[in-house]
Amino acid sequence: MPRVPHPRLAATLALVLGLLAAAGARSAPLRALRHADFDHYTFALTWQPGFCGTGGGCRRDQPRDVLIGLHGLWASRPRSLIRRGISAPQWWQHGCDYYRHSSRAPKLSPAMLQRLRHIMPHLQDSLLRHEYDKHVQCFGFDAPTFFGTELRLRRRVVDSAFGRYLIGTARGHAVRHADVTEQFMRAFTTDQSAALQLRCERTNGGQVVLTQLWITLHTDALSRFPRDGALMNAPIAQDNCPGRFRVPGW
């Protein structure tokens, strides 16, 4: 008759196995299995109070303990599409639909889904499903590795001197665009000033507020971000924030 392990021992073993699995996920490199001939990623973060306070807004169940949220990690145009004459704006609009469309949600653990739901904007239509369809599934990325990479990249920004500046100093104030860029360059020790692109929108009251932060990264540098030359100037300017704007709070 098989021996039944002591409940406390079984719980400890489960915890150890879980930690080992998590460590393996952390070390797994992100690789596109298809259409991998693209040049860079755009790592898109949301400034939640601004993002949810403009446009269509967010649902009422939007968590308000998160300031720097997650939008997505976007591969640039594969060269196969460039050869077909597909422009960058066309790629930004349609993404993976040039190859295949999928309405399926990514297969992720309940724990990872909970973490993503907490930090992603709660829109009327699922942003997670949209991001997976448009930016992930056609490349053959392993879904847990992809979204785990996003979570780690976001945490590095939040925990950085730049994240502390946005959350602790800039929040609730009008700031100069040049000062935000300077804080970014100083925090990440880079001379790539256009690696950060700021996105702003107007509130219903007409105030220009920060809504997103787009960071351009070399394709093979995600594990090194933000150091060792991971950052690169965005090849196409999409920064639309004026010389002075507000970083709103909740």
DSSP letter assigned to residue 231: B
DSSP 92-120: HHHGGGGT----PPP---HHHHHHHHHHS
Tell me the domain boundaries of the chain: 32-247
The neighbouring-strand residues paired with 66 are none
CATH number for the 32-247 domain, one of 3.90.730.10, 1.20.1250.20, 3.40.50.720, 3.30.420.130? 3.90.730.10
> What string of pLDDT tens digits covers the 250 residues of the chain?
444 445 454 444 444 444 434 444 455 789 999 999 999 999 999 999 999 999 999 999 999 999 999 999 999 999 999 999 999 999 999 999 999 999 899 999 999 999 999 999 999 999 999 999 999 999 999 999 999 999 999 999 999 999 999 999 999 999 999 999 999 999 999 999 999 999 999 999 999 999 999 999 999 999 999 988 999 999 999 999 999 999 999 9
* 18 Cβ contact list (under 8 Å, min separation 6): none
Residue-level pLDDT at 89: 98
Q: Are 210 and 47 in contact (CB under 8 A)?
A: yes
Q: Are 72 and 150 in contact (CB under 8 A)?
A: yes
Residue-level pLDDT at 29: 85
| 197 backbone φψ class: left, alpha, beta (φ>0; ψ -120 to 50) | beta
* 212 Cβ contact list (under 8 Å, min separation 6): 44, 45, 46, 47, 50, 51, 71, 198, 199
